Structure 1
Amino acid sequence: MISRAVRTGAAALVLAAALASGARASKPELRAEVEAGIDALYRMDFDDAARHCDRMRVLEPGHPFGEFGHAALLWARYTYGTEMGDDTLIKPFEAQVDRTVETGKAWVKAHPGDAEALMALGAAEGIMARMYVTRRQYLRGYWSGRAAMKGTRAAVAADPNLIDAQLGLGMYDYYTDLYPRMIRALAKVILRGDRARGIERLKLVAEKGTWAAVAAKMLLVEISLHDPYGARDPQKAVKLMEEVRAKYPTSAMLHSAQLAALYQAGRLEEANKGALDFVRKTEDGRYRRFDKPKGMVFLGASLWALKRPEDALAAYRRAYEEKPRNRWAVWALIRAGNVLDLLNRRSDAVQHYKEALSEPDRWGYKEYAERALKRPFVLEGEFTVDPR
């Protein structure tokens, strides 16, 4: 649950959340660049988004907008662009976050009470926290998250009408209440937030926010799909994803989030149809070929749920055939082994798990393959699409 939660909306969530401050920027040209940059990121056009961040630097020299944009893009390229498969991006990302913080502090010193700069400064600390949590470094993520709240709360104090800033407060409230319930070590050190208050803040941004509205909706989707304490509502997630995809119909990232909502809401025929459409788009160039294994994993899950085990097995195997192999391809091989176990074909399943273990373990999947090697896989409920 935790890893899935922090990855909601992938790249676009982070940049939209932080650059939302630009929506209130005094220069119309700067607002236009922020809008265009966020749109490019939702479309997964990283190069175009980078160009807009460069223009932010030119339009407002010394302001943290442009610097933060580049930090968010490096995070996006790592978490979504490479599916956490290129660790060489981490040090440049950390360096860019440090540059953003230095720039932000210098600007705020020269322009006390600048709510937008304070928000961008807080977001820079926040994006570092998200990287730590994505890499399962939860305590470091918590301390960075606390540092992020200093700038975010200062931004709200400076301008209570900056609705988009409520996104960071809502995330902090929700996750600092959620994590200690699920990771005992955190319960001893974390100052707990308030899940209910966090959700209400996210709803406020979703309804009245400017550039952060979509990001807030994506967080609400994640909560509606995975919250274990009463807020789970997959049908609500489906509705939210319909709204988001209407705005960004060509985004592979958002398409996959919609498939997750449909699958968990039990709308299996729609999920299956949507997965087939996703795969076709990776094959005809509308989406990246790199994303095909992800589409095949969604397809395999829907086929299994529709009681078509051999077709599900074929879909998972096709996902693994794609090269270069990303985390979805490796996970598909483990899932293929699971299907074989459920079909009482243990020897074939074992070969799949062994092959999965031969792949680099960049994503923490080794434990799943090792567990399945020790004893045959037993399915409880339906397949999860991705344990991360």
Structure 2
Amino acid sequence: MLRRCFWFALLFGLAFPAADRADNLNLPADALFGQEQLYSGRTDRAVAFFRRLQSREPESPLGYLLEANALWWKTYCASCEFRWGTVDAWQRPAQPEDRIYFALVDRAVELAEAELRRADSAEMHLYAGMGWALRARLLGLHGERLETARAGVRAREHFRRALQLDPQLADAQMGLGLYNYFVDTLSPIVKVLRFLLGIPGGNKQEGIRQLEIAASEGKLTATEARFYLAKNLRNYDQQYARAIELMEPLVRQYAQNALFRLMLADLYAHAGRQQEARSELLRARALADSLREADPNCAQRMVTLAETLLAQWSAGAPSPAAAVRRGGSIPTALPGFHAWGEQNRR
């Protein structure tokens, strides 16, 4: 039986304009411009904006969080593989450059928690939660399951407090939504271990509701709430039509993002829409070539994946949807509790 993986991957980004629901989160222009570049596939330009924000506001956690998030997307893209009929980043050993990522995260958490010792605020709890969540997702990619879970719990505490202080803070809903969704999908044995370790439970339907709020109303998290909700519905629930509805607007808004197009192609393939999947793969392949200077590792991985999938489908290999109909298993893309539970089961 294929091992189920669970990464406590909590990602943050900007996508669609926020709704009229008000909160007290006021983002500087460098943050907004940098996010736009990041999700357009220009990580190098995004990092330049985030470092300028750090220079202008060195005591704010935000610039460090956003640069760490940009580094995550570079890592995620370069780590994607095609396994079990599904494109995702499954696992990658620690690399020397990860020290930069963790240093940024640690600095952000240090600044946010220092500010919280002076005055309680929803914004600083949001940033502290984001920092712990960013730590969790790279630990998850490394397969460090217990540390991933612990960081995820710390993130949850901050997000919950942020919403207590500001119930309209939609960005805090993303971290809670991912936590609630994933923890509720654990196998029974892992749920027992979770209880024994004092790790709070979750509720998948509540998680979906929270992710939808973040996707429609978040100022920082809308893009990644939408992206991860689509991936969750694919990995856990096989709701491919709904996942496609979530991903298509991302591809329309960020038409130059090769990774988003590759993920949409994967969803089309799972839904049995092979011609549309092939068209998106060709577009992703062309876009990746144009990004070789900005992010050569990601670009090469996108080219390799697109060519591999095109060759397999041209050769008549069964679609992911066919594998699922035959009772196949598509492991999830998120280690942490699931992978840890499977390890203990063995």
**Residue 55, structure 1, aligned to residue 52, structure 2:** yes
In structure 2, the partner of 1:270 is 276
Cα deviations by residue, 1:182-218 (Å, 9 ceiling, x for unpaired): 8578444333211111111112222333332222211
1:1-388 aligned within 5 A: 3=5, 13-16=11-14, 24-26=24-26, 30-81=27-78, 84=92, 87-110=95-118, 112-181=119-188, 183=190, 186-187=193-194, 188-189=196-197, 190-227=199-236, 231-283=237-289, 288-304=299-315, 307=316
> In structure 1, what is the Cα distance between the partners aligned to 2:140 and 2:274?
31
More off after superposition, 182-191 vs 58-67: 182-191
Q: After alignment, is 176-185 or 166-175 more displaced?
A: 176-185
Q: CA deviation at 1:138?
A: 1.9
Which segment is superposed worse, 90-99 or 182-191? 182-191
Structure-1 separation of matches of 2:326 and 2:235: 16
Asked if the contact 2:8/2:149 (under 8 Å) is kept, the reply is: no
One-letter amino acid matched to 1:34: A
What TM-score, normalized by structure 2, do the two folds share?
Answer: 0.76
Distance 2:47 2:312 in 1: 35
RMSD: 3.3
How far 1:132 sits from its partner (Å)? 1.7
Asked if the contact 2:34–2:47 (Cα under 8 Å) also holds between the matched residues in 1, the reply is yes
Residues 76 and 215 (structure 1), Cα distance of their counterparts in 2 relative to 1, 3 Å cut: closer
Structure 2 CA distance for partners of 1:272 and 1:186, relative to 1, 3 Å:
farther
Secondary structure, aligned partner of 1:133 = helix
| 1-structure distance, mates of 2:94, 2:158 | 30
On the 8 A contact 1:5/1:223 being kept in 2, the answer is no
The one-letter amino acid paired with 1:65 is L
SS state at 1:150 partner = helix
**8 Å contact from structure 2 (residues 34, 49) kept in 1:** yes
C-alpha distance in structure 2 between counterparts of 1:387 and 1:207, whole Å:
24
After TM superposition, give the deviation of residue 81 of structure 1 in Å.
4.3
Looking at structure 2, the residues matched to 82 and 260 of structure 1 have their Cα atoms a distance apart, in angstroms, of 16
Distance (Å, rounded) in 2 between the aligned partners of 1:108 and 1:197: 28
Deviation of 1:301 (Å): 4.3
Identical amino acids, percent of aligned pairs: 24
- Which runs of 5 or more structure 1 residues have no equivalent in the other structure? 313-378
Q: Aligned in 2, Cα 1:135/1:85: closer, same or farther, shift over 3 Å?
A: closer
Q: Give the stretch that moved more between structures: 285-294 or 53-62.
A: 285-294
The 8 Å contact of residues 225 and 232 in structure 1, kept in 2 or not, is answered as yes
CA distance in structure 2 between the aligned counterparts of 1:24 and 1:48, rounded to whole angstroms: 27
Label 1:86 to 1:138 Cα distance change in 2 as closer, same or farther (>3 A). closer
CA–CA distance in 1 between the matches of 2:189 and 2:307? Answer: 30
Count of residues paired in the alignment = 303
Distance in 1, Cα, partners of 2:6 & 2:95: 19
Greater fraction of residues in helix: 1
For residue 279 of structure 1, give the secondary structure of its aligned residue in structure 2.
helix
| Aligned-partner Cα distance in 2 for 1:386–1:291 | 20
Residue pair 1:101, 1:121 contacting (<8 A) in 2 also:
yes
Question: Structure 2 vs 1, CA of residues 35 and 3 (structure 1 numbering), >3 Å: closer, same or farther?
Answer: farther
- Cα distance 1:183–1:43, how it changes in 2: closer, same or farther (>3 A)? farther
Secondary structure of the structure 1 residue equivalent to 2:185: helix
How far residue 243 of structure 1 moved from its aligned partner, in angstroms, is: 1.2
- Alignment partner of 1:272: what SS? helix
Letter in 2 for 1:37: G
Distance in 2 separating the partners of 1:175 and 1:383:
17
Which fold has the larger relative contact order, with Cα–Cα distance below 8 Å and residues 6 or more apart in sequence?
A: 2
Q: Given residue 275 of structure 2, which amino acid in structure 1 is its aligned partner?
A: E
1:263, 1:302 within 8 Å by CA — same for their partners in 2? no
Q: Which amino acid aligns with 2:213?
A: L
Identify the residue that residue 327 of structure 1 maps to in structure 2.
Answer: none
C-alpha spacing 1:101/1:283, structure 2 compared with 1 (3 Å)? closer
Q: Is the 8 A contact 2:25 2:169 kept in 1?
A: no
Alpha-carbon displacement from aligned partner over 1:152-202 (angstroms, at most 9, x marks no partner): 112111111111111111111111222345857844433321111111111
Question: Once the 2 structures are TM-superposed, how far is the Cα of residue 71 of structure 1 from its aligned partner?
Answer: 2.4
Q: Which runs of 5+ in 2 are unaligned?
A: 81-91, 293-297, 320-324, 335-346
Instruction: Please say if residues 5 and 226 of structure 1, whose CA atoms lie closer than 8 Å, have aligned partners that are also in contact.
Output: no
Distance 1:193 1:114 in 2: 25
How far apart are the structure 1 equivalents of 2:220 and 2:158?
19
